[in-house]
């Protein structure tokens, strides 16, 4: 009987931890709502005045590729329950033939599905500003 109470207590503690983590916002992969949110995240996270003028969001909202007026490129990627934003160079981005773009940052390679916008980015990256 004592083992049963112990097991019930452990199950209750695990359920409490799960509820608490969800309440604090640890819910898996974050999703970008729109282009404006991506631009705001990049402006806040990247020092040096990154003001995006172009942005392409992954079809599922799991990242974005951005360019500012000076031609600098940035990527926004999910990291836990939040997003990270990093400056990247053209050599870190591989735009294949389809709708996917592969971005490499130190310690990580991610794929963004830009849909129809991938072709425009393919052309823009071939001729930097």
Query: If the chain, 129 residues long, is cut into consecutive pieces of 10 residues, what is the mean pLDDT of each piece?
Result: 88 90 77 92 88 92 92 91 89 84 90 89 72
Tokens of 15: 């359920």
Q: What pLDDT score does 42 carry?
A: 93
Q: Which domain holds residue 115?
A: 35-126
Q: What pLDDT score does 94 carry?
A: 86
How would you label 66-83 residue by residue, b for 16+ Cβ within 10 Å and e otherwise? bbbeeebbbbbbbeeeeb
| 3 and 65 within one domain | no
| 60 and 15 within one domain | no
Single pTM value for the model: 0.75
Q: What pLDDT score does 128 carry?
A: 54
Q: What pLDDT score does 32 carry?
A: 93
| 23 and 68 within one domain | no
Closest CA to 77 of 114, 110, 117, 34: 110
- Whether 48 and 36 have beta carbons less than 8 Å apart is answered as no
| 67 and 11 within one domain | no
| 90 and 45 within one domain | yes
| 69 and 6 within one domain | no
Rounded Cα gap, residues 63 and 79, in angstroms: 10
CA 33 to chain centre: 12
Q: What pLDDT score does 23 carry?
A: 82
Q: What pLDDT score does 73 carry?
A: 92
| 9 and 59 within one domain | no
- Paired residues of 75 in beta bridges: 65, 86
| 42 and 22 within one domain | no
| 94 and 47 within one domain | yes
| 49 and 5 within one domain | no
| 105 and 57 within one domain | yes
CA distances (Å), 80 to each of 51, 57, 87, in order?
25, 18, 19
Domain count, the chain: 2
| 54 and 116 within one domain | yes
Q: What pLDDT score does 127 carry?
A: 61
């Amino acid at each position: 009987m004592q083992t049963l109470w112990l097991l019930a207590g452990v199950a209750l503690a695990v359920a409490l931890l799960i509820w608490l983590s969800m309440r604090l916002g640890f819910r898996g992969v974050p999703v970008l709502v729109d282009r404006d949110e991506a631009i705001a995240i990049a402006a806040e996270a990247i020092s040096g005045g990154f003001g995006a003028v172009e942005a392409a969001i992954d079809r599922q909202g799991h990242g974005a590729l951005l360019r500012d007026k000076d031609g600098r490129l940035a990527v926004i990627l999910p990291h836990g329950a939040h997003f990270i934003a990093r400056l990247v160079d053209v050599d870190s981005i591989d735009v294949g033939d389809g709708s996917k773009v592969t971005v490499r940052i130190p310690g990580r390679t991610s794929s963004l599905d830009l849909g129809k916008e991938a072709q425009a980015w393919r052309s823009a990256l071939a001729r930097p500003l």
